Structure 1
């Protein structure tokens, strides 16, 4: 019997914050701070939570740490909003294990990235995602980010997956090719869940039929990102447009270095985390950090540490 995913599809929309993974100065995962960050998100209207996606530095975590992060997030959310952890990997078996673990923990869906570094062809990508999707009953949202994976999941491949796998219900497109993004809904159907992973395309994707975004900027100003989506859903196009443009300068500065380094620098300035990344990642230059501080000041974000 084909499972009905309509209930989670109706709830899974709006601002899905990809919460960063906080580390201590000793490079240990700071699970208590992770719970505090999730509470900060929920207090500010975030519609759903993701962890261990790109912003969560999954390639810097062991498999055990990724599971622990998922478990901590699930307990912290406590059913208040949908939970969509990132479970993808360049290693197929690891992606299978993590996705099954997400289902076991109680995640509402899993975000599974196109494997990075090894550049599989389209046939191999189809087999990879189909095998992962067939191994679980929870919904799968595929994560296409060609700028980080060096491979683009073609629309026809995605459409075939959506046809053959009932639990492949959506895609996060971190894809600057807006023609590609339009064709996703044309080929996969207008009820296919389309999320933006490109900050400057969060509003435009809503306009063509997208349901939300997974924006790293929401780590810093969750309220404004959520409000943009709320305005759109309420039919207040002018407010949604205004917030889109209001967020643009912050979006720009937070992506002048590789995500999540600028976001972690900003959260450190706000006193939310120890601004630490595991090597080979590192904090932005002092010059960029100064620009981030100045930009936070423009947005009236309280900076506790200069």
Structure 2
């Protein structure tokens, strides 16, 4: 584990870094949300994205689970662990959870062993980007990769070919002419010789977008590959190509640090934005269907929130810096 940097916050006696403390705060937010009974179905998906974004988050959530088990004295499945506290008259607010976590860490009850376990484990791919980060990588043949937010991949060379295994998130590949590249996902493999294309790992499918050249898409259980031409996009699962369509003109806007909305539902826009910032970003159902158009800078989320409040009848409520809800104005 990296040494604590000068000036970084720490919990006495543990060497907990500022990044770990941020994860503890975020874990307390998520824990109290699930315990409150107010979580909606989309919150579980957002929680999963947060959890997988960093080993700090996995470690912090494990501490929250261990704290609850100590309080209840009975481990259980995810639902039992998270919603058990809610049945106790909702006494365990975010503040209570946070204090309990920090107290447990400060007294050494939880310690750093669990954190080291995750830091050294499978969560560390060859290359991984953090929340909101765009990570450039240059391959040995000169091809360029750009990892989108919360992405992770491995790179291997064999037989004159570079094989990229996309473990999470999205990658934009700009292959040098003639370079043999393949991108493996949970659903299959995408092959190319040169060209510029993007591959994104979704929950149960893979998305492919071709900006120049041509790629071959082969689902895991398919005997043949399907050609995808420049200007096209497709979605496939392990068995087949699910759909193809014309490529959205703003599909690679994220690579330039932009988020472009074209008459987009507010709920969908916020779901996209939520990938680029830590914590929970919720959209009140009353404003979910408002339409939005514009070009926004991903590196300036506060400007985005100001623009939303100016252009739409909404207000931005901040319960904490990691828990934001866009609600009706007034």
Normalised to the residue count of structure 2, the TM-score between the two structures is: 0.33
Higher relative contact order (CA 8 A, sep 6+): 1
Higher helix share: 1
Normalised to the residue count of structure 1, the TM-score between the two structures is: 0.35
- From the CA coordinates, give the structure whose radius of gyration is larger: 2
